[in-house]
Chain A
Amino acid sequence: EAGVAQSPRYKIIEKRQSVAFWCNPISGHATLYWYQQILGQGPKLLIQFQNNGVVDDSQLPKDRFSAERLKGVDSTLKIQPAKLEDSAVYLCASSFFLGPETEAFFGQGTRLTVV
């Protein structure tokens, strides 16, 4: 079975520019997560979707970050405008449903460098 697909793998932008990341979860997975992993730190949840509804976006900096999951499948995470501290790896993950008995599968991530 195909894994979680993310693109692009790498992105370099200047501060104040905008950027978008794309995620295609595993087929049939209702739950989709976006995590931010800053160098030397563990992944931090940005937003969690159940189908096309938001379950948790409490740690999403909503003044500059936005995410959507149209039709409950693919998802896009956008940053506008980017700051230097947004440099990180952005990981997308998906799971079949919400709950401890399921496993979250992670994509390879998009490494963002803001200069």
Chain B
Amino acid sequence: AQSVTQLGSHVSVSEGALVLLRCNYSSSVPPYLFWYVQYPNQGLQLLLKYTSAATLVKGINGFEAEFKKSETSFHLTKPSAHMSDAAEYFCAVLTGANNLFFGTGTRLTVIP
């Protein structure tokens, strides 16, 4: 069965600093991986997804993620944090039934 684990429930960065949110996956088959963002009192919005076309995936709002099979990781990065990036971020993997299994989430705080 497919699953994901997010390391760090809270991450704080200074405005302009690198954002790194960690996600590791477990899958017996090549995984399809996703990052979603959730702003307060909002639904989830897709940031980016990996579907085996390229290991470095670029998403919206300047975010990108790199699929590393050797490390079973799919970490989310952004070179320079902006105040508007403060939100909850969820890593997810597509299950065999074609639905999403979500990690527990990482709350990103951006310090001015």
Residues of A within 8 A of B (CB): 4, 31, 33, 35, 40-45, 48, 55-56, 91, 93, 98-101, 103-104, 106-109
> B interface vs A, CB < 8 Å?
6, 9, 32, 36, 41-46, 49, 51, 90, 92, 94, 97-105
Given contacts A42-B90, A42-B105, A91-B44, contact A99 B98 (CB under 8 A): yes
Taking A42-B6, A45-B99 as known contacts, 13 extra A-B pairs with beta carbons closer than 8 A to each other, sorted by chain A number, are A40-B104, A41-B105, A44-B102, A55-B99, A56-B97, A91-B43, A93-B43, A98-B98, A101-B51, A103-B49, A107-B43, A108-B42, A109-B43
Known: A42-B102, A48-B97, A91-B43. A100 touches B32 (CB 8 A): yes
Q: A106 CA to B97 CA in the complex, in Å?
A: 18
Interface centre among B9, B41, B90, B100 (most CB of A within 10 A): B100
The answer to whether B46 touches A103, judged by C-beta atoms less than 8 angstroms apart, is yes
Bound-complex Cα distance A44 to B99 (A): 10
Chain A residues, Cβ within 8 Å of B99: 33, 45, 48, 55-56
A-B pairs with lowest CB-CB distance, top 10: A42-B102, A106-B43, A100-B32, A98-B98, A106-B44, A56-B97, A108-B43, A43-B102, A42-B104, A100-B51
Q: Whole-angstrom distance between the alpha carbons of A35 and B92 in the complex?
A: 13
